[in-house]
Amino acid sequence: MAFAFHILGTSSSGNCSLLEASGTRVMLDAGFPGPRLEASLQKLGLEARALDAVMITHEHSDHCIGLAALLRQNPLLKVFTNRETARRIKDSVKADVNWQLFETGTTFEIGGLKVTSIPIPHDAADPVGFAIDCPAEDARPAKRLTWLTDLGHATTVVKHHVALADILVLEANYDEEMLELSKRPQSLKQRIKGNFGHLSNIQARDLLLGLREWQTTELYLGHLSKECNRTIIVDELMNAVRDQKTDLRITVIDPLEDNPVSLW
Ligand SMILES: [Zn+2]
Ligand SMILES: [Zn+2]
């Protein structure tokens, strides 16, 4: 199995990616309903039974709503999450689950992959991001893939992990003006903007501009809000990052796009 990373989708209405590396096929979050997940896997020529494991970042439905459907098709699928997240989602799954529980902040193995769970500030029970070390394969050097969405602000730990990522998926959730002008209730706006909500486009940009040294070559901006963001706004803001780091490829994931974005 050669290295491949597919973002099946990332936005405020659903998050799911697939990593194939070191002979292991693992899903990161399962935040689409069963039929959409199945259709996305089919586009890659895969089905749920071909997965070795799924990792769940937190219990919000845009990260785990498809888990029950996955487990119906692959009942022995290993589900990696922490205890608090498992407690929140177990009732919606209604099945015996092959839980693989980890402590937040620790490193564990999934097949040939080494995975570090990263605590993130977000209004869920015990939310995490993941840094996945993929060993060198064939002619490809070792790579670290880091997944960080749903964070109200960038903590020191988050910045540390961003700087170490070769491939980075980072949240750019909302444009401040669009959020302010939206018809959302004031309480929801405060939640999104708060320290345990989501990163704005400017917060994501400033996090990157504030790094002294970082090694990322592939950057994906994801978890965009369908209502309160546009890819073109994120893309233009990132010009400042492009100016600073010319070897960096930047892709903004369109929340309205159904087709996977793949890195081979
Ligand atoms: Zn969330
Ligand atoms: Zn989310």
Centre of ligand 1 from the C-alpha of residue 226, in Å: 15
Q: How far is CA 70 from CA 38, 45, 59, 129, 256, in A?
A: 8, 16, 16, 21, 23
pLDDT along the chain (264 residues), means of 10: 92 95 96 95 95 98 97 96 97 90 98 97 98 90 96 97 97 97 95 97 97 94 97 97 94 92 89
Q: How far is CA 133 from CA 19, 181, 206, in A?
A: 11, 41, 26
Cβ atoms within 10 Å, residue 202: 13
Centre of ligand 1 from the C-alpha of residue 125, in Å: 10
Tokens of 121: 């500030």
CATH 3.60.15.10 fits domain 4-263: yes
In angstroms, the CA 231 to CA 31 distance is 20
pLDDT at 36: 95
Q: How do strand 249-252 and strand 261-263 relate by DSSP bridges?
A: unpaired
Ligand closest to 127 (CA) is 1
Note whether 98 and 78 are within 8 A (CB).
Answer: yes
Amino acid at 141: P
Centre of ligand 2 from the C-alpha of residue 153, in Å: 14
pLDDT at 1: 73
Ligand closest to 120 (CA) is 1
Note whether 12 and 65 are within 8 A (CB).
Answer: no
Q: How do strand 167-171 and strand 249-252 relate by DSSP bridges?
A: unpaired
List alpha helices for 44-130, DSSP H.
Answer: 61-64, 67-73, 83-93
Centre of ligand 2 from the C-alpha of residue 151, in Å: 9
Ligand closest to 62 (CA) is 2
pLDDT at 259: 86
Amino acid at 167: I
Domain ranges of the chain: 4-263
pLDDT at 95: 81
Q: Which residues surround ligand 2, an ion (CB under 5 A)?
A: 62, 150
Centre of ligand 2 from the C-alpha of residue 77, in Å: 23
Centre of ligand 2 from the C-alpha of residue 4, in Å: 23
pTM for the whole thing? 0.96
pLDDT at 19: 97
pLDDT at 174: 98
Centre of ligand 1 from the C-alpha of residue 204, in Å: 16
pLDDT at 81: 98
In angstroms, the CA 89 to CA 56 distance is 10
pLDDT at 214: 93
pLDDT at 92: 87
Cβ atoms within 10 Å, residue 13: 18
Centre of ligand 1 from the C-alpha of residue 98, in Å: 23
In angstroms, the CA 264 to CA 105 distance is 28
